[in-house]
Amino acid sequence: MKILILPDPAAAVARCVEIIAQTLNEKPQAVLGLATGGTMEPVYARLVERARAGEIALDRMTSFNLDEYVGLPPEHSQSYHSYMRDRLFGPLGLDPSRTHLPRGDAPDPAAEAARFDAAIAQAGGIDLQLLGIGGNGHIGFNEPSSSLASPTRVKTLTLATREANARFFGPEETVPRFAITMGIATILRSRHAVLLATGTKKATAVAAMAEGPLSARCPASALQLHPRATIVLDADAAADLELRQYYETVHPQGQEVALG
């Protein structure tokens, strides 16, 4: 794992955007795995800014999102389809045929999950998978107890995750109980996984992911098995890391250092 610690959330977001931009510069037709959540909002805002400034092009990429709530149609305001349309796909006018999310309203969610994994494989696999992390260590919606070899499938959300995500829903709305999520095996097949975490609420989960045992108790710990995982943190999210000083020596200010 490459652990990059930046001084504040804005610097962590900028570093994450830099990694995405580098991937797209090297391979404009890259397949990106995209994530949702509050942490990713400034990432997409910055990508839109940079694309509008002509510094980066997203029009040739293909994307697959991590997850979607079961039962929510794409037009629902809290669906992840809407999240992506509002924050990235709409502002950049991306061709909808290049952007993929599981259909939460599919009549057979299990079949939809299998179709999604097959579509990723058919696109050649994911070049760069963007990830956030839940306070309980989930990635995508792979809650604790998720098989570390899981394919894309339906998962039941924990109460903690439903409560954490309730802030995005109206007072009269309930957070769905189920989601279709890329599996841990799907995520591990990506050629590069980039996880962004900011804020003290993520510190415990980040330490469990990077320094705890490989365990379904903390699904993000599966990234210890990923051949190329980059973890981008702000100082608050890095606060519980025992080996922090080492990571900061290897990558001062979260930057690459030439060997020698």
Pair of tokens at residue 39: 């942490």
Q: Which of residues 105-134 bind ligand GLP (CB under 6 A)?
A: 132-134
230 φ/ψ angles, rounded to the nearest 5 degrees: -115, 125
Q: Residue 31's CB: how many other CB atoms inside 10 A? A: 22
67 given a catalytic annotation = yes
- Helices 41-52 and 9-26, interaxial angle, to 10°? 50
Cβ at position 38, least distance to ligand GLP in Å: 3
Cβ at position 253, least distance to ligand GLP in Å: 23
Q: Which of residues 29-48 bind ligand GLP (CB under 6 A)?
A: 35-39
If 0-12 CB within 10 Å is exposed, 13-18 middle and 19+ buried, where does residue 20 land? buried
76 given a catalytic annotation = no
Q: Which of residues 150-189 bind ligand GLP (CB under 6 A)?
A: 161, 165
Residue 205 makes contact with ligand GLP by CB under 6 A: no
Number of residues that bind ligand GLP (CB under 6 A): 14
8 Å CB contact between 134 and 199: no
8 Å CB contact between 46 and 13: yes
Cβ at position 112, least distance to ligand GLP in Å: 17
Q: Which residues bind ligand GLP (CB under 6 A)?
A: 35-39, 66-67, 132-134, 140-141, 161, 165
Catalytic residues: 67, 136, 138, 143
